[in-house]
Amino acid sequence: MACHGPQGNSQIPATPSLAGQPKLFLENQLVLIREGLRDIPQMKGLLDGMKDPEIVALAGYFAAQKPVAASTGPVDPTKWQRGQQLAGKMLCGSCHLPDYAGREQIPRLAGQHEVFLLQSMKEFRDRPGPGRDTIMAASLYGLKDEQLADLAHYLAYFR
C-alpha cells in the first residue's frame, strides 16, 4: 500500500492503482512478477516465496476495492476528444470493455494515472518482452507519442 496507495488507489503518478482491477488480471500479474517473468524493479523481492493462496487473497482484496479516479486536474478537451476518437477507431473497448473497467485478464484503464498509462503504452509499443501482452504490443505498434498521450489523457479522465 506504500506504493499502490490506500485500498489500492495510487497517489503516485507513475504507479498503477490496483483497486477495482479484475481479480484474474491481478493474480496473473503477481505470479508473473513473482516468477521473474515481468521485471518490475520496485517489486523485486516483495513476492519472493509468496504462496499461490496468498496471491489469490491479495488479488481478491484489491479487486474488491472501489477505484478512485486518479486524475483530478483540468481536462484538455482537444486531447480528450482525439483520445476518444483514437480509442474508438482502435476498438479499445472491445477488450477493455466500453467503460474501460477491464475483465478477466484485461486490466481496468479508466481513471488510472495519465503518467502511468502513457508510460505503459510506450513500454508495450517500444519494448515488448517476457510477461508483456503481445496483443497490446501489436495494437500500439506504429502509434506516435502524441497519439499515445491523447489516449492516456482520454483514459485517465474517462468517467
Per the annotation, where are the binding residues for heme c?
A: 3-4, 43, 92, 95-96, 136
Between CA 106 and CA 94 the distance in angstroms is 11
**Chain-centre distance for alpha carbon 8:** 13
Q: Look at residue 93 and give its three-state secondary structure.
A: helix
**Chain-centre distance for alpha carbon 18:** 8
- Do 98 and 159 touch, CB atoms closer than 8 A? no
* Intra-chain end-to-end CA distance of the chain, in Å: 24
